[in-house]
Amino acid sequence: MFSYFRTRRSVYFNIAFLFVLAVVWLVSYMQPVLRSFFKEEHVFYGRVSYAAIPSLFGGSNIPFLDKTFFQLNGDAGATFVLYASREMNETMSEWFSFSARNVEDIPIEVSAVRISDSKFIVKSIATTDAEMDWDTISEYQLYYSLVGLGIVLFSLAGAFTFLILGIKSKR
Residue 81 neighbours by CB under 8 Å, 6+ apart? 32, 67, 68, 69, 119, 120, 121, 122
pLDDT digits (tens, 9 = 90+) for 129-143: 888 888 889 899 999
CB 148 within 8 A of CB 12: no
What are the Cα distances from residue 36, in Å, to 6, 31, 81? 46, 9, 11
pLDDT digits (tens, 9 = 90+) for 70-94: 989 888 889 999 988 888 888 888 8
Question: 65: number of CA atoms within 13 Å, CB side?
Answer: 11
Domain made up of 40-144: CATH architecture = Beta Barrel (2.40)
pLDDT digits (tens, 9 = 90+) for 33-73: 999 999 999 999 998 888 887 766 666 777 877 888 898 98
- Alpha-carbon distance of 84 to 10, in angstroms, equals 41
Domain-wise residue ranges, the chain: 3-32+150-168, 40-144
